[in-house]
Amino acid sequence: MRCKDIIKYLEQWAPKGAAWEKDNVGLQIGNPEGRIKNIMLSLDLSEKVINQSIEKKCNLIITHHPIFYHPLKKLNFFADRISKQIEKIVKHNINLYSAHTNLDFTKDGVSFQLAKKLQLEDIKLFKPLSNNQVKLVVFVPSSHLDKVSAAMHKAGGGVINEYSHCSFRSEGTGTFKGTDKTNPTLGNAGKLEFVREMKLEMIVDKWKLGPVTDAMEKAHPYEEVAYDILSLHNKNVNYGMGAVGRLKNSMTSKEFLKLVSTKLHVKYLRYTPGRKNRIKTVTVCGGSCVDLLDEAINKNSDAFITADLKYHNFHNAEGKILLVDAGHYETEAPILDEIQNRLKSFLNKEDIKVLKFKGSTNPIIFYNKLGAN
């Protein structure tokens, strides 16, 4: 199995195109054609992660956080932590791949796994992304409508949430007049033709536009295919930030905090109480998602679980929503099990192990009077 085959599989789930525009996801270091022996999963890269990968003969490390996030201006193998990691990875022919905000924004991604860990039900994306879809409109003779439509759907066009094969078809008259250099499928060169055609339109995620357009052109019978690509400002319900779900049975704030603490293995939670003591609807977002706080309040969530919160964020939430900072590492860690399960089922006939880093890459340690723990 080549590195690029594993990447292709992962990106069908979490497409690179769905990532935040300033993010840097994908293969960070490596050779897409390289053969993969074993795979190591970790939220972050660290020297311990690299050492364990070498020991377990893993030549592909998949992390959530990309190593190249801020521009790298020099490599200092002696003093700089990132440079040293790069040196070691290259020396040991290890491939490094990162799925970051694309994995945050996808269904069953980071926030979905956090929601599942907290036993939420009826989980949905909380805030759909927008401005990342187009409408592809093509004019096709009815004899080839099904063929063109099937090819476009197969390439990924016309998906709206849990519905695939979404399109609209209308009938009309197309006109054309070819020069004497043309060889029209219908009618004759040099003559103005009027042809009954179907207008076929469907929504396409921007990053699938290339494959869908190629498939459309291949399946289309005309020498020159007439089509329009229109920008959309729709919400893209296929991808979004955070997740929202409901507890099967409502519980008190204290009971819910205990659940969060137990399920995410967090010894200390920072929180502020909300407007009511019973918790039923919960919004979650793994990592740093304070930007969703106001929307979670406005949408009447009883609790919001995220991380990296500041003092004044708690002031803003106090008395409105149970706001919980459950730790960046802790709210994102559940995704590793999902990546592992998916890769294991994809690679079930291959002799490739998919391992999770044994240890923690969380740099934050809690201290109390009894000592660090």
Interface positions with Zn ion (CB under 5 A): 287
**Shortest separation between residue 38's beta carbon and Zn ion, angstroms:** 25
**Shortest separation between residue 347's beta carbon and Zn ion, angstroms:** 26
Q: Which two structure tokens, joined as six digits, stand for 359?
A: 């240890």
3-state SS class at 80: coil
Q: What is the C-alpha end-to-end distance of the chain, expressed in Å?
A: 41
Q: Which residue is nearest to Zn ion (CB)?
A: 287
Q: CA–CA distance from 371 to each of 25, 51, 367, 368 (Å)?
A: 38, 28, 6, 5
Helices 110-117 & 335-346, crossing angle to 10 degrees? 110
- Residue with Cβ nearer Zn ion (274 or 286): 286
Contact 33/12 with Cβ under 8 angstroms? no
Using the CB atoms, write b or e for 221-245: b if 16+ within 10 Å: ebeebeeeeeeeebbbbbbbbbbbb
Nearest to 285 by CA among 265, 303, 263, 259: 303
Q: CA–CA distance from 249 to each of 66, 119, 141, 253, 278 (Å)?
A: 38, 10, 55, 13, 10
Block residue for tokens 């476009």: 152
3-state SS class at 28: strand
**Shortest separation between residue 123's beta carbon and Zn ion, angstroms:** 20
**Shortest separation between residue 95's beta carbon and Zn ion, angstroms:** 21
**Shortest separation between residue 34's beta carbon and Zn ion, angstroms:** 27
**Shortest separation between residue 243's beta carbon and Zn ion, angstroms:** 15
- Residue with Cβ nearer Zn ion (14 or 138): 14
Q: Which two structure tokens, joined as six digits, stand for 97?
A: 């791949």
**Shortest separation between residue 107's beta carbon and Zn ion, angstroms:** 18
Which amino acid would we find at residue 254?
Answer: K
- Residue with Cβ nearer Zn ion (274 or 287): 287
**Shortest separation between residue 78's beta carbon and Zn ion, angstroms:** 28
Nearest to 243 by CA among 270, 213, 283, 276: 283
**Shortest separation between residue 372's beta carbon and Zn ion, angstroms:** 23
Distance in angstroms (rounded) separating the CA atoms of residues 325 and 272: 9
- Residue with Cβ nearer Zn ion (103 or 244): 103
Contact 232/277 with Cβ under 8 angstroms? no
- Residue with Cβ nearer Zn ion (109 or 287): 287
- Residue with Cβ nearer Zn ion (67 or 202): 67
- Residue with Cβ nearer Zn ion (49 or 159): 49
Phi (first) and psi of residue 125, to 5 degrees? -60, 145
- Residue with Cβ nearer Zn ion (11 or 332): 332
- Residue with Cβ nearer Zn ion (157 or 287): 287
